Amino acid sequence: MLAVLLSMSFSEESSSSSSSSLNGDAYALLFNALRLIPISHYLLALSLLFVIVIYNFLEFHFVEDLFSGFRGSPVRLTFNSSSPIYDGVVSKCKIVHGRYLVTPWLSSPHIQTAFLHFFGRPPCFSYRRQLFRLSDGGMIALDWLMGSTGPGDFFHANNFISKDDTTPIAIVIPGLTSDSAASYIRHLVFNTAKRGWNVVVSNHRGLGGVSITSDCFYNAGWTEDAREVIEYLHHEYPKAPLFAIGTSIGANILVKYLGEEGEKTPVAGAAAICSPWDLLLLCLLLFLPTNAVCSHCASYKSRSIRDFDNHATCLVGKFETVDTYYRNCSSSTYVGNVSIPLLCISSLDDPVCTVEAIPLDECRANKNVVLATTWHGGHLAFFEGITAAGMWWVRAVNEYLGVLHSSPYMHVQKKVQEPGLHLSTESSIDQGPYLNVSEDGMVAAVGNEQTRNSIVGDHQTNSEMVLDTEQDEQLTGAKSDAVPNTDRTCEPPANTPDTELRNLTASVTSCWNQLSQRNKRSMWLLAYVAIITTWPLVGSALRFIFGKKRKNVLSATLTKR
């Protein structure tokens, strides 16, 4: 029995050793075979693997377009089944009912977006700049391009608009860190003015070469600047229909403004392009790096947009948390209250404003909203043609606004008892964003009671035109570093005694008005601090005066005795 077991173990060991030797021989043969393959074949295989990885990572769709015969993909429209805006306006627009084909050599949303940012091929023309003073003392640039039906006339910005002019005015609200010099803005302005419309770009605070002149800054939900500009244009040109176009963050601001105003807005129609819609969801899905333009504004070194909003935007705007800021500023919660014709355009492959944030149900529930989505297009790109000379969404918006202007579906503002008063729901977004900077360098966030009081009390200050000059510098797409110092309308007054007295009185009155517009607690606190700080001096003076009188009384009494 023992001999049998020993023989079996010996046979197993021999079989395992033979199998291992066979495996070793097989690996050696395989290695020798691989050595026989030329290195160029390996390089070709690695190149092919790299192309496949890059193709999928950058979401290229050139092969799909090739197999479809470069016919493009149809545009998907989302609207209410009983929408009069679709039946009377959008149904007559051929572009949104057609197909969109991306420029073949830009068949990637990331490549399209990068090409728009670095190149864009913007048209060349000059703006006419108007510096507009806001009610809180801030300054923004309104860049105009006047429309003309004559060939080539729209290249000159020397025209002015009369009070009785009925030419439509298109108000453009750019995206985050963009101004009138951005490539996509220039494409939109040029093509809209070429149709005969007057176009004005409402630059955000601190952009367009204009420095920040007040203690207020904008954010993704700050609608006060857009509201003031729209009210000013409606007051200055009452016979000209107003149309608004928002892009990216500008689209979010525009939709939020339209939802807040409802039927009170003087805007006749609007378009929102590539809106982020849901900022909280967008922040959870993306980890965007902080833009270099705003990274130095926060004392904390932010690594993402969320970090910047958490340490800067929430502090300035007095939001409880960054999620509160995102919820209150998301336009998806306001699109249901929009009461004017609104066309929204989004791309399903947008690398910035992702498809998950698009409020399909909210847009479908509102009869005034039509949502157009394309399979491709990137973020604000939508290039078309072999040379990528045009942008599809620009053509779609111009056609939509043209059809709307010639239809009876333009919105007409409903009169209210107090047109200067803006009532909005109480939320933390309405508490700022303002900064109060004292002389000793202390910074504190304050509310916007001053702005509201100024809007209600003084309409002329709200719509004051400060400067109206031409930009002699030819803009070719690059952002200007500073506003040209070409103030020809404001001459300094002579330094006469009467003038100096009036200036001093005006300064004191202005300071007192600003202090009186603060809340009562601040006034009482200021009075308390004044009494406490000056009491030692006042007390000493009182003791000196009354002590002297007391000595005089005592000396007179003793003399009589």
Bridge-partner residues for 246, per DSSP? 173, 272
Provide DSSP, 17-75: HHHHHHHHHHHHHHHHHHHHS-HHHHHHHHHHHHHHHHHHHTT--HHHHHHTTS--EEP
The pLDDT confidence band at residue 388, using thresholds 50, 70 and 90, is very high
Averaged pLDDT, 117-131: 92
Tell me if 134 sits within 8 A of 140, measured CB to CB: yes
Report helix, strand or coil for 459: helix
What is the structure's pLDDT at 142? 97
Which H/E stretch holds residue 547?
helix 520-560
Tell me if 306 sits within 8 A of 322, measured CB to CB: yes
What is the structure's pLDDT at 310? 74
Tell me if 261 sits within 8 A of 241, measured CB to CB: no
Question: Which position has the token pair 């050599």?
Answer: 105
What is the structure's pLDDT at 168? 97
Residue-wise pLDDT for 296-345, tens only, equals 444 445 667 777 777 777 766 667 788 888 888 999 999 999 999 999 99
Q: Which residues contact 452 (CB under 8 A, 6 or more apart)?
A: 422
Tell me if 240 sits within 8 A of 165, measured CB to CB: yes
Distance CA 147, CA 142 (A): 16
Rounded to the nearest 10°, the torsion over CA 471, 476, 481, 486 is: -10
Residue-wise pLDDT for 405-434, tens only, equals 999 999 998 765 544 444 343 333 333 443
The pLDDT confidence band at residue 541, using thresholds 50, 70 and 90, is low
Average per-residue pLDDT for the chain: 76
Which among 378, 409, 406, 373 is positioned nearest to 391, based on CA atoms? Answer: 378
The pLDDT confidence band at residue 18, using thresholds 50, 70 and 90, is low
Say what the pTM is.
0.69
Strands 443-446 and 434-437: antiparallel
The pLDDT confidence band at residue 551, using thresholds 50, 70 and 90, is low
Residue-wise pLDDT for 80-119, tens only, equals 999 999 999 999 999 999 999 999 999 999 999 999 999 9
Averaged pLDDT, 536-546: 53
Question: Which position has the token pair 């003084």?
Answer: 458
What's the angle, vertex CA 324, arms to CA 171 and CA 218, rounded to 5? 30
Tell me if 197 sits within 8 A of 168, measured CB to CB: yes
Averaged pLDDT, 114-136: 93
The pLDDT confidence band at residue 543, using thresholds 50, 70 and 90, is low
Rg (the chain; Cα; Å): 34
Rounded to the nearest 10°, the torsion over CA 154, 160, 163, 169 is: 30
Which among 400, 255, 458, 450 is positioned nearest to 337, based on CA atoms? Answer: 255
